[in-house]
Structure 1
Amino acid sequence: MAAIKVPTFAFTPLRLSLLAALALQWVSGVIVLGICVHFMSKFQQTKHIKYHTIISSVNTWVYGFNQCFAITKLYKGHGTFLHMGFSCLWLTSFIFAVQDYNFGYCASMEPPEAGGQCGIKYALEAFAGVAFVCSFISAPLEMRLYIVEHYETTTAPSPAVAETHIIHMATHALPEEMQDERIIRDDPDDEISDVRTAEQPYFLEEKTV
């Protein structure tokens, strides 16, 4: 019998929602990284810009691979604490951006040599906030996926597997029934075609004198 093929991907609503959140977080991290590289290549490397750069670069590498696992069948949801950690890091990055660009004169803040470019600075702030929201949403989605895969997934075999198991048991049980029938008839050399199963009663014929 041909082997049953297990699907590689699982496109459930929960997994697709997790994939969307992780993909949006990755895109936001890439945008923040690009803005930070632009500032660091032309202006002074301040502490907050360095922090944004480190977080966005790590986020880009980690979630560039992690988002691909969300729709694979073998992935059972083990990234809850990872998302919680990144949500805290992105929240800190967002707070730094808000302090720099919303509580002072934007043109003279982080980096002050930029000579304005407030639109780019506000973009950094916005996408840092988007990355925080996505990582925050990914944590409960990941937790829910873990619960579904480990506690709510049914363990009942598929119809094809159940049928194969029944046929396998019947194949091994048949010779034992035949042997029992031969013992009852006291005829061990009887042919298989003449053997009656235990479910079919067998009556001895009276011998005529």
Structure 2
Amino acid sequence: MARTNGSGFGLPPFFLISNALIWISAVIVMGIISYFISLNNYVSGHIIYEEVISVLTVAFFLVSFIIGSYPGSILIFNVIFSYLWLVAVVFTAEDWSSDYAGELAHTVEAFSFIAFFFLFFNVIFDWHYGFRGHVRSTSAV
């Protein structure tokens, strides 16, 4: 039986807010990176990686609003995307941490970190939420 919070989405309030912030961050990163790609003839592999991860996050996190009501069902999904966003954070820090990068580049860096940060807490929360009550204090014979 799925646990729901009565809001219609089936997600606990933390997941609902966290997934919304992840999705919004990915949309912002996707938009700015798309703008960077449209301006340049030469595009590095890091920018393409960040664009692909943000597009995948925008697409797949819409699904998380639906399947998130089943405890532990999106744990592996959150783990995979948290590692993908961690690499994106490293790439943006490597490429755009200097003062001359500009405000848009720093915005991409900030929202990439926000997406990773909330994905990390999604993993912790989903681990606790999905497996709470399933731990035995004594061995079963």
Q: 1:57, 1:105 → 2: CA distance? A: 27
Unaligned 5+ residue runs, structure 1? 1-5, 108-117, 153-209
After superposition, where does 1:64-75 map in structure 2 within 5 Å?
A: 64-70=62-68, 72=69, 75=70
Contact 1:26-1:59 at 8 Å conserved across structures: yes
Q: 1:31, 1:65 → 2: CA distance? A: 19
Contact 1:55-1:89 at 8 Å conserved across structures: yes
Residue aligning to 1:140: 124
Q: 2:95, 2:76 → 1: CA distance? A: 29
Q: Based on CA coordinates, which of the two structures has the bigger radius of gyration?
A: 1
Q: 2:30, 2:61 → 1: CA distance? A: 14
After superposition, where does 1:164-183 map in structure 2 within 5 Å?
A: none
SS of the aligned residue for 1:17 comes to helix
Residue aligning to 1:106: 100
The TM-score with structure 1 as length reference comes to 0.56
- C-alpha displacement at 1:98, in angstroms? 0.9
Q: 1:87, 1:106 → 2: CA distance? A: 28
Contact 1:77-1:146 at 8 Å conserved across structures: yes
User: What per-residue deviation string (whole Å, max 9, x for no partner) do you get for residues 85-144 of structure 1?
Assistant: 111111111111111122x4634xxxxxxxxxx100000000000000011000011112
SS of the aligned residue for 1:85 comes to helix
Q: 1:76 to 1:22 in 2, by over 3 A?
A: same
- C-alpha displacement at 1:15, in angstroms? 1.3
The TM-score with structure 2 as length reference comes to 0.81
Residue aligning to 1:83: 78
- C-alpha displacement at 1:8, in angstroms? 8.5
- C-alpha displacement at 1:9, in angstroms? 3.9
Residue aligning to 2:134: 151
Residue aligning to 2:18: 21
Structure 1 letter corresponding to 2:15: L
Q: 2:31, 2:121 → 1: CA distance? A: 24
Q: 1:105 to 1:10 in 2, by over 3 A?
A: closer
- C-alpha displacement at 1:45, in angstroms? 1.9
Q: 1:7 to 1:147 in 2, by over 3 A?
A: closer
Q: Does 1:42 align with 2:26?
A: no
Of all paired residues, the percent bearing the same amino acid is 26
Contact 1:15-1:145 at 8 Å conserved across structures: no
Q: 1:7, 1:83 → 2: CA distance? A: 19
